């Protein structure tokens, strides 16, 4: 029979156990993974077969564990991941993490000397005798398997997260807007990733987001991982098959080395209409200069990081599946005829195949996932395509009192995504070759962004 003292002791023990259980339930943990994503010699990369690996490519990211289903965020040093290629990545990583596909976000960093990944377009090219010329299916599958295996290990070795860190710094003399408008409001000069045009160099930077943002995960005083976000085409020079993670990857790797191999993961923001053309003439000497400027900003953002306590009650994962309006220039009969034309240039057939892949998937009802991970007052927004900077800046205005970090280049099947007005202004990015969506895409995508940034 229990006396009053025993009952009091049992109540105290029950209370302590309840508090311990509550504390455990509120814990966030993360695991970090990284695998090689460099293609073999001879494998096709964006514009030529691989001749040599100048700077190795990687697929790297984190798995976030809480009482909810795991979340996976992954950045790959490839040009783009599209259609069934993205589905493969998400399916395999979701299985490895024991989560659902909609809680996996995989982005390309968009280096132009990296691999392409689009298994739908590859199927079409193969049908017309061009299989294996642009995509290395075996290499893609091998890389995905390696990433999945690394996630399983990362999950086993996950560390508790007690604090989230945030810092930011301006990147000096890297980004500039690619679209220089004339007095008539139309594009008069296209400022490419590299430029020797005096008028393009002399023109103002134009609309950019100058801030590099740094989000870090901490276990008390020990940093576990750092994720950086910056919007800019990451090219200095390219196209000869000399594979490189480019100036953004070089800077990322330098910061990781400087911090005793603290994992660094970099995401490209809405850089579709942003490039280094004002500050890059395409010479070999410019790559390390741009890398140093990126590294300096990463270091500055790290040094002014402010930490705040974090727990799973501060975590939320929001998604919206949307059908993006297809460009009216995509006509299946015409695209099939182009692919069947024995006289048509292989590069033009590649674009016809990309157009056809996106058109058929859209007709089949395939949707694009927009997602956001909320960690307290910090939001990690995941968006598709070669997105214009206006979307990133608009997302930040939607939550002016919070921190919004944008990663674009997730689903790459539609190519560029401009603003509605941009489709009437001319320029490459909104041309029939480059973009597979209609001007009405702005309204659809902005609505999706608003949805996932609400709680």
Measured CA to CA, the distance from residue 308 to residue 142 in angstroms comes to 39
Domain boundaries, the chain: 30-452
Q: Mean pLDDT across the chain, nearest whole number?
A: 95
Helices (H), ranges, 162-265 = 198-202, 246-258
Q: What single DSSP character describes residue 363?
A: H
Measured CA to CA, the distance from residue 249 to residue 186 in angstroms comes to 34
| Residues 54-72, mean pLDDT to the nearest whole number | 97
Backbone angles phi, psi at 31, to 5 degrees: -115, 145
Residue 11 pLDDT: 45
Whose CA is closest to 84, among 358, 407, 349, 417? 358
Please say if the pLDDT value at position 133 is more than 70.
yes
Q: What single DSSP character describes residue 385?
A: S
Please say if the pLDDT value at position 171 is more than 90.
yes
Burial group, residue 205, by CB count within 10 angstroms (0-12, 13-18, 19+): middle
Whose CA is closest to 274, among 141, 408, 446, 118? 408
Residue 2 pLDDT: 44
Token pair in block for residue 336: 């099939």
Residue 445 pLDDT: 98
Token pair in block for residue 300: 């500055």
Please say if the pLDDT value at position 135 is more than 70.
yes
| Residues 425-436, mean pLDDT to the nearest whole number | 98
Name the band, by pLDDT with cuts 50, 70 and 90, for residue 27: confident
Calculate helix-pair angle for 137-156, 119-127, nearest 10 degrees: 160
288 to each of 57, 72, 108, 237, 293, how far by Cα in Å?
17, 31, 22, 11, 9
Backbone angles phi, psi at 179, to 5 degrees: -105, 105
Q: Alpha carbon 183 to chain centroid distance? A: 34
pLDDT, tens digit (0-9, with 9 covering 90-100), for 321-367? 999 999 999 999 999 999 999 999 999 999 999 999 999 999 999 99
* pTM as predicted: 0.94
Report the DSSP pairing between strands 211-219 and 163-170. Answer: antiparallel
Tokens 């010699």 sit on residue: 41
Please say if the pLDDT value at position 13 is more than 70.
no
Name the band, by pLDDT with cuts 50, 70 and 90, for residue 3: low
Report yes or no: 383 and 407 within 8 Å, Cβ to Cβ. Answer: yes
| Residues 362-390, mean pLDDT to the nearest whole number | 98
What is the number of residues in the chain? 455
Q: What single DSSP character describes residue 39?
A: P
14 three-state secondary structure: helix
Residue 24 pLDDT: 44
């Amino acid at each position: 029979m229990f006396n009053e003292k025993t009952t009091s002791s049992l109540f105290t023990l029950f209370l302590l156990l309840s508090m311990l259980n509550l504390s455990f339930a509120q814990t966030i943990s993360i695991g970090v993974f990284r695998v090689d994503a460099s293609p073999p010699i001879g494998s096709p990369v964006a514009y030529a077969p691989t001749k040599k690996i100048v700077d190795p490519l990687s697929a790297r990211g984190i798995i976030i564990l809480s009482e909810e289903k795991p979340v996976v965020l992954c950045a790959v040093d490839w040009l783009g991941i599209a259609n069934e290629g993205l589905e493969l990545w998400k399916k395999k990583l979701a299985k490895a993490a024991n989560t659902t596909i909609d809680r996996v976000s995989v982005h390309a960093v968009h280096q132009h000397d990296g691999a392409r990944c689009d298994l739908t377009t590859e199927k079409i090219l193969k049908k017309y005798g061009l299989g294996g010329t642009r995509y290395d299916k075996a290499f893609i599958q091998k890389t995905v398997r390696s990433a999945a295996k690394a996630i399983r290990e990362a999950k086993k070795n996950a560390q508790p997260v007690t604090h989230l860190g945030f810092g930011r710094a301006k990147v000096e003399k890297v980004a500039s807007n690619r679209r220089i408008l004339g007095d008539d409001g139309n594009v008069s000069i296209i400022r490419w990733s590299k430029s020797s045009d005096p008028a393009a160099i002399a023109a103002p930077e134009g609309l950019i987001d100058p801030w590099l943002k740094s989000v870090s995960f901490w276990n008390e005083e020990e940093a576990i991982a750092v994720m950086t976000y910056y919007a800019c085409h990451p090219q200095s020079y390219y196209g000869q098959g000399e594979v490189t993670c480019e100036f953004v990857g070089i800077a990322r790797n330098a910061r990781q080395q400087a911090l005793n191999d603290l994992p660094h993961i970099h995401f490209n923001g809405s850089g579709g209409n942003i490039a280094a053309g004002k500050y890059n003439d395409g010479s070999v000497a410019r790559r390390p200069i741009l890398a140093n400027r990126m590294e300096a900003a990463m270091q500055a953002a790290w040094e002014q990081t402010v930490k705040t306590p974090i727990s799973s009650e501060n975590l939320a994962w929001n998604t919206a599946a949307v059908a993006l309006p297809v460009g009216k220039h995509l006509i299946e009969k015409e695209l099939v005829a182009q692919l069947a034309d024995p006289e048509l240039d292989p590069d033009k057939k590649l674009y016809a195949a990309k157009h056809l892949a996106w058109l058929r998937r859209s007709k089949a009802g395939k949707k694009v996932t927009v997602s956001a991970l909320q960690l307290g007052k910090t939001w990690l927004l995941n968006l598709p395509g070669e997105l214009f900077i206006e979307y990133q800046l608009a997302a930040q205005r939607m939550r002016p009192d919070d921190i919004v970090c944008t990663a674009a280049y997730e689903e790459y099947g539609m190519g560029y995504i401009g603003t509605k007005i941009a489709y009437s202004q001319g320029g490459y990015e909104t041309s029939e070759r480059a973009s597979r969506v209609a001007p009405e895409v702005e309204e659809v995508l902005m609505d999706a962004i608003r949805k996932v940034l609400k709680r």
